[in-house]
A = this chain, B = another copy of it.
């Protein structure tokens, strides 16, 4: 039985690291705290000493995970760059993040569907779908006549869909197109340009 955590980590970090791997791999329900404890080489009592409950442990992990990536993405969206530049950077950065964490999208979706009510309460979701400055800029460009009159909401959802969805069906894509892990990565790298061009095409006059 191999473990995910090095021995020189603090107990708390060992638990979090092990739990994250298992949650990503098997989802919340199918991951038992017994297995987390076993793999982290501690016992259940200790896990509950640090996190009080499985749910708590999960929330703690979930927040740190998203907190790690959303700031970069949001800083792109709220930067003073021109629209096209922004789109290009956002697509590239987002895909790079997901290439490093292919299960992240489904992970977030599963949280969304497990806690359909808590969405508003969880601040972290706000940052995942943050169009504030972007929409304003979009409207400005439309008003100035620089781009086509496209609904920013539709546009933003197009962008999100094109970037993230392929990762949720990664297995199917690989299977159907006989791709290896490396081929899939290559495919997603090529996709950066495909998506960017596509998005810009829809707004260019």
Contacts and interface: CB of A to CB of B under 8 A. Distances in A.
A114 B110 CA distance: 12
Interface in A14-67: 27, 29-30
Given A106-B113, A109-B106, A131-B176, A166 B161 contact: yes
Which bucket holds chain A's interface residue count? 35 or more
A158 interface: yes
A148 to B, nearest CB: 11
Nearest to A168: B109
Interface in A128-149: 128-129, 131
A158 B154 contact: no
What is the oligomeric copy number?
2
Contacts of A164: 161, 165
Interface stretch (A69-77, A83-91, A190-198): A190-198
Given A162-B158, A164-B165, A165-B161, A114 B27 contact: yes
Contacts of A114: 27, 30
A201 interface: yes
B161 A119 contact: no
A168 B168 CA distance: 11
A81 interface: no
A109 B151 CA distance: 28
A18 to B, nearest CB: 20
A109 B112 contact: no
Given A158-B195, A168-B168, 12 more contacts: A27-B113, A30-B114, A110-B110, A112-B169, A112-B172, A128-B172, A129-B172, A151-B194, A157-B165, A158-B198, A201-B201, A201-B202
18 contacts: A27-B114, A109-B109, A112-B171, A119-B171, A151-B190, A153-B187, A154-B190, A154-B191, A157-B166, A160-B165, A161-B161, A161-B162, A161-B166, A164-B165, A165-B165, A198-B198, A198-B202, A201-B202
